[in-house]
Amino acid sequence: MYQKPVISLAILGDERVNWRPDSYNYTIAGCEVSLKFPTVKLLDYEERWSELEASSNPFAIIVMAHLKTKATTGKLPEREQWKWRLIRGLYEKEFEREQIIKLFEIIDNMMTLSPELQSSLENKIKQFEEERTMPLMSNMELRGMERGKEIGKEIGKEIGKEIGKEIGALENARDFVKTVLQARLGEVPLDVEQYLNKVSVLSTLQEIVKLAATANSLAEFKQSLARIQ
């Protein structure tokens, strides 16, 4: 978009009730810069919790996750309960699957738990998904590969099951690889995406999923990828 007016908006996520800056300016060598901007104080939404829960705006979920992350500092069992409640709410609000995955990633990264509590949460999610026949568990597990190769092996099996049971198509298998790379390494390089588009054997893509789930860097992933080409 060109030649359009823009605004600057400050979103304040701190815990200082009275800190509400709405302008910025400085002067140097005869040059003066001044900016006035509206602000949104996330702390204010603590008193509007019912509005957040009723809202269908995805940002409301993010605000709730932020507030409960702050409120449960040093109280991980309580945080696990709130994290589960917010994740379950993603389904109840009937978001699209892609929206659920993206919002889940934000919640999961924001509301960190101990390994034991995270494992407990994952079991709840898995059971919940089995009852609703709407899988998200594979995406969650794929982002947890930093816990080691053993989990990577389990994910490989889960991915294989999901591909055979739900997808059964090469395009979806490629999507699984991209999901793993984006979640663990932050990006899918163009050359990797082009290579994936050329792979026409499902078993090869399943091997690539395992590589993506265990590689510690893009460079390591590409080196492993070269060995199976």
pLDDT digits (tens, 9 = 90+) for 17-50: 888 888 888 888 889 989 898 988 999 999 999 9
Q: Is residue 218 part of a domain?
A: yes
Q: Is residue 134 part of a domain?
A: no
C-alpha to C-alpha distances, 134 to 80, 90, 169, 194, 206, nearest whole angstrom:
21, 12, 18, 29, 21
Mean pLDDT within 2-14? 83
The number of domains in the chain is 1
Length of the chain: 229
Q: Is residue 217 part of a domain?
A: yes
What would the pLDDT profile of 152-168 be if each residue is shown by its tens digit? 556 666 655 555 554 45
Domain hosting residue 197, numbered range: 145-229
Q: Is residue 102 part of a domain?
A: no
Task: Give the residue from 215, 201, 128, 209 showing the smallest Cα distance to 162.
Answer: 209
Q: State the pLDDT confidence band at 77, using cuts at 50, 70 and 90.
A: very high
Q: Is residue 128 part of a domain?
A: no
pLDDT score, position 149: 46
Q: Is residue 220 part of a domain?
A: yes
Q: State the pLDDT confidence band at 229, using cuts at 50, 70 and 90.
A: low
In this structure, the number of other CB atoms found within 10 A of the CB of residue 117 comes to: 17
Cβ–Cβ under 8 Å, residues 110 and 78: no
Mean pLDDT is lowest, of 20-29, 80-89, 214-223, for: 214-223
Report the C-alpha gap between 192 and 220 in whole angstroms: 13
Q: Is residue 185 part of a domain?
A: yes
pLDDT score, position 96: 81
